[in-house]
Chain A
Amino acid sequence: MTLLNHYFSVFLQGFGYTLLASLIALVGSLILGTLFAIMQVTTSKVARTIGNIYVQVFRNIPLLIITLFFYLAVAKVIKMTGFTAGTIALMLYTSAFIAESVRAGILSIDPGQMEGARANGLTFWQAMRVIVLPQAFRVAIPSLGNQFINLVKNSSILAFVGGLDLMYQGNLVAASSFDTFTTYIIIAIFYLVITLPLSYYVQYLETQLKKKA
């Protein structure tokens, strides 16, 4: 308890950076992921191939490699902090998983919806935006929720590049207080404050969706 009191502001700062990185990466990966999901369902072979390659590459390599690439290689050309490099890597990595969720959502929507919208004079993008995507997102919400939980957990990767997040601050506190055990337990509780309610909410949404089906 004294440890928590003594280092509370440090933990809180880490918690703030973890939240910030997660939110930025969430918004970015939702936009990117949706874009790549749409690319994968278009009729253009080029767009489909690019979308596929992007998703397969980012899904199959460790987040740490992407993070190190931005922190060590890209940061040499474009100056950026560990926090920025980590958040960009987190965003790109998560966007591949979000693309898969959204694509599954789009494919679950009756193709008649798109055909009907097109027949009524909407362009592909209008039909996508107004008719297909809103329905697809409703289906994809539980799996998107799980991706967000993973995103928050994965944000601990920032600790590798001095990203000031919860894990990073935890390691500092552990090193200076010598009470590694208590420090990590406190860090765990801070993470659970974000992820546990989200996970129960996602489970609730899943049962709701099953009831409707």
Chain B
Amino acid sequence: MSEFFNAFTGANLNYLLGGLGITVGVSTISVVLSLLFGSIVGIIQFEKIPYFSSLVGTLNNIVRNLPLLLIIFFTYFALPQLGFRLPIFWSTVAAMTFFESAMLAEIVRGGLEAVDRGQFEGARANGLSNMQTMMHIVLPQAYKKMIPPIISQLISLVKDTSLASGIVLAEMTYRGQIVYAQNTNYIVPVLLVLTVVYFLLNYGLSLLAKWFDKRLA
């Protein structure tokens, strides 16, 4: 039993929590970039441009239906074969952004479809261009409704960064593996610490999503 508590040394905990910084960093950068790319893809799908929109929609469906782990491995191990090599941190960010943009595009499209048609017509009738209507009238309303689902996606991103331990990114889960590699008695305590940290972070985010949901309703 004393072995159990021995795992909680300052050095070990410090090392683990240092991984939390990378976990949060990857998730935050990815969600911001995905929001940008996802919005573009979502708007393209929403605008129903002949052929182009359905082509983008199909590609989007394909990306959404692939395992993220496969995309992470592909970006890190297969792309260098084509001469496209990224450092591990940015490789993870690229893989996550690629996958998450497809997820967020669906949310953006759904958010746009939920905006009343009258808003478009009113803005156009008042002399705004298509682009202006989108930027100033429709998107702000759509984004407001999208905040809770976007936070849910951020939660999955935080959880999914643990997959990057498969390509040896030194985020929290990978650091956990390093710690219990010293002593197999540390396995349970380390996993417990990871569970608590991930839970607090994600549960906090889910409460935030709920709060927005109530305020915006």
* A binding-site residues for B, Cβ under 8 Å: 56-57, 59-65, 68-69, 72-73, 149, 153-157, 159-160, 167, 170-171, 174, 179-181, 183-184, 187-188, 191-192, 195-196, 199-200
| Docked pose: A188 CA to B98 CA in angstroms | 15
The reply to whether the CB of B133 lies closer than 8 angstroms to some CB of chain A is no
Nearest-neighbour CB distance to chain B for A206, whole angstroms, equals 11
CB distance from A27 to the nearest CB of B (A): 21
A181 near B69: Cβ-Cβ < 8 Å: no
B166 touches A160 (CB 8 A): yes
Which residues from B are CB-within-8-Å of A154?
67
Decide if A167 touches B65 in the complex (CB within 8 Å): no
Per the CB 8 Å criterion, the residue count for chain B at the interface is: 36
Residues of B contacting A60 in the complex (Cβ-Cβ under 8 angstroms): 155, 159, 198-199, 202-203, 206
Contacts of A153 in B (CB 8 A): 65-68
Please give, as numbers and ranges, the residues of chain A lying within 8 Å of B206 by CB-CB distance: 56, 59-60
Indicate whether A65 sits within 8 Å of B78 (C-beta atoms), given known contacts A73-B187, A195-B65. no
Contact A149 B65, beta carbon cutoff 8 Å: yes
Contact A196 to B73, CB < 8 A, known contacts A60-B202, A65-B198: no
The answer on a CB contact under 8 Å between A180 and B70 is: no
Contacting residues of chain B (50-87) with chain A, CB-CB under 8 angstroms:
61-62, 64-70, 73-74, 77-79, 81-82
Query: Within 8 Å of chain A (Cβ to Cβ): is B162?
Result: yes
What CA separation (Å) do A61 and B195 show in the bound complex? Answer: 6
Which of the residues B66, B166, B203 comes within 8 Å of A188, measured between beta carbons?
Answer: B66
Are A187 and B70 CB-contacts (below 8 A) given A57-B199, A60-B199, A180-B77?
yes
